[in-house]
Amino acid sequence: MCRLCNPATPRALCPGKAPLMAAPTESSSGTASGARAAEAAATQITAAPLPELSGQKGTRILIRGGVVMSVDDAVGNYPKGDVLVEGTKIVEVAAQIDAPDAHVIDASGKIVMPGFIDTHHHQFETGLRSSLSDAIVVNDGKPENAKNYYETMLLNFSQHYRPEDVYINELYGGLAQLDAGVTTVMDVSQIHHSAEHSDAAIEGLRDAGRRGVFGYFEGWWEGKEHPGGARRIRERYFSSDDQLLSMVMGGEIYIDGYEEMWKIGRELDLQIALHVVTTFGMTPTFDALARKGVFGPDNIFIHMTGMTDDAWKAAADAGAHVSLSVPIEMHMRHGEPPIQKALDLGMSVSLSSDVECTMSADFFTQMRGLITLQRMRANERALSGEADHPALMRTADAIRHATIEGARGLRLDRKTGSLTPGKEADIILLDAEAINVAPLNNAPGAVVTLMDRSNVDTVMVAGKIRKWQGKLLGHDLGKLRRELEQSRDYIFEKAGVERDLFA
């Protein structure tokens, strides 16, 4: 029986199991005193097990001997390096760290880097995964597109959610992304039909155990709590900055009364996020807002497809952030992802998964979508003979957009997004010896061009180990899956939609 089952049982007594952690070794002459010191250090380190003690005050963890990508130019990268964590925070990053009192995680063969940050994910749709795989975003009048996202998801499926449906979808979706190394999300739930729905969304985010930004967007029923409920929610759940969860205000300009949403958001010192998509006919409204000068550094513009140059310049001048969902934007007819436009204007750009009813929420997919489209367009311009064609995006750039830029966009860069001493320990270990990666020749290249969610070995959020040696911890996933399936069945039935596996 291993320590994860019985903490009182020494790991060494569990047959066939590798040590959970190892004590530092000494290159000494093998004296009795040296042996006794090593034995004492090993006893001290393994007296209480990981991952149970991780994230607790006073617990020190040394992630040792990994390929360290800090995503912080001041810290640098290490072909073989160590990361020291104490409690919830990163204490030190260096080529070698002496910490004899620390629990040791052997990171040899692993890439150690900050967790991914998803700045736009509709987690309430988790139970409807793949149900709109062939859909576009709005109805274009053609029979084959009658089953579109806007009408099928927002105007039908979403109206039938009970609070318990919101909770299980939020929780399961959060755990699935955590399993894939996404340690932070802005959840755009659009399901705030009542106070109970809003509370269930927040509780699902919280119980997943990762860093979450609660996106208080619209609901779709009469009598809905949005937007005035923001005041209640802010006071009840987000009065402190010293927690894993924070809040953003939704401010969709295609909804009557969006001015009130923006007003409330700024009154509560919240960022204001909105979808900006040409297929929703919002270009004139967005242009008008640009001329009014109401954009600010508190704005998060999602997609930003089809906007005029003047509106883009106003957004850039205001310091607004852009969240791109590249695979979804290409797949669902949002318009071409404006990667180069945002980069040319020097804007902060992050990545987001958007909707799992249509596309995967793992971040290897998002990074590959970003870099391949940018390079395709840049290469096309180079082949056409343009002398001033854009520079080709590098894999290290894609990682920055998937980590620190997302943190900046969510006002969390003081806490997360890089392996910087003083920041909270949101860290992932990626298996670089797996069959799809080995042998390792380029660390950022391997992460962006070769890896997938199966390479995510260990995930830490604020120092707490949430995934350990390939296994998600703390939840009965079989039970949660059955609850999610029951929720799906209820929603399909209420929506009057037949579930056809081959439709």
How does pLDDT run across 423-458, given as a tens digit for each residue? 999 999 999 999 999 999 999 999 999 999 999 999
pLDDT tens string 207-217:
999 999 999 99
Neighbour-count burial for 312-328, b at 16+ CB within 10 Å, e otherwise: bebbbeeebbbbbbbbb
Integer-rounded Cα radius of gyration of the chain: 24
Question: φ, ψ for residue 313 (rounded to 5)?
Answer: -65, -40
Is residue 27 scored above 50 in pLDDT? no
| Residue 62, beta-bridge partner list | 84, 104
> Which range among 16-20, 38-42, 329-333 shows the weakest confidence by mean pLDDT?
16-20
Q: How confident is the model at residue 256 (pLDDT cuts 50, 70, 90)?
A: confident
Residue given tokens 């957009």 in the structure block: 401
Is residue 49 scored above 80 in pLDDT? no
Q: How confident is the model at residue 23 (pLDDT cuts 50, 70, 90)?
A: very low
| Coil, helix or strand at residue 240 | coil
> Which range among 8-12, 259-263, 290-294 shows the weakest confidence by mean pLDDT?
8-12
Is residue 61 scored above 80 in pLDDT? yes
Q: Return the closest-CA partner of residue 230 out of 273, 253, 261, 255.
A: 261
User: What average pLDDT does range 17-30 have in this prediction?
Assistant: 37
Task: Give me the helix-helix angle, 258-267 and 230-237, nearest 10°.
Answer: 30
Q: Return the closest-CA partner of residue 396 out of 63, 180, 65, 72.
A: 72
Question: φ, ψ for residue 413 (rounded to 5)?
Answer: -70, -15
The one-letter amino acid at 85: V
Q: Which domains does the chain have, with CATH numbers?
A: 11-114+419-477 (2.30.40.10), 116-409 (3.20.20.140)
Q: Return the closest-CA partner of residue 250 out of 230, 231, 235.
A: 230
pLDDT tens string 108-128:
999 999 999 999 999 999 999
Is residue 358 scored above 60 in pLDDT? yes
pLDDT tens string 394-419:
999 999 999 999 999 999 999 999 99
Q: Tally Cβ neighbours within 10 Å of residue 16.
A: 5
Q: How confident is the model at residue 222 (pLDDT cuts 50, 70, 90)?
A: low
| Residue 81, beta-bridge partner list | 66
User: What average pLDDT does range 45-63 have in this prediction?
Assistant: 84
Distance CA 122, CA 407 (A): 18
Q: Return the closest-CA partner of residue 427 out of 215, 211, 240.
A: 211
Distance CA 410, CA 395 (A): 22
Distance CA 123, CA 121 (A): 6
Is residue 476 scored above 60 in pLDDT? yes
pLDDT of residue 172: 98
pLDDT of residue 223: 61
Dihedral over alpha carbons 457, 463, 466, 469 (to 10 degrees): 30
pLDDT of residue 9: 34
User: What average pLDDT does range 373-379 have in this prediction?
Assistant: 98
Residue 394 CA to its chain's centroid (Å): 21
User: What average pLDDT does range 363-370 have in this prediction?
Assistant: 98
Is residue 32 scored above 70 in pLDDT? no
For the whole model, what pTM was predicted? 0.90
pLDDT of residue 437: 98
Residue 457 CA to its chain's centroid (Å): 16
| Residue 104, beta-bridge partner list | 62
Distance CA 379, CA 389 (A): 8
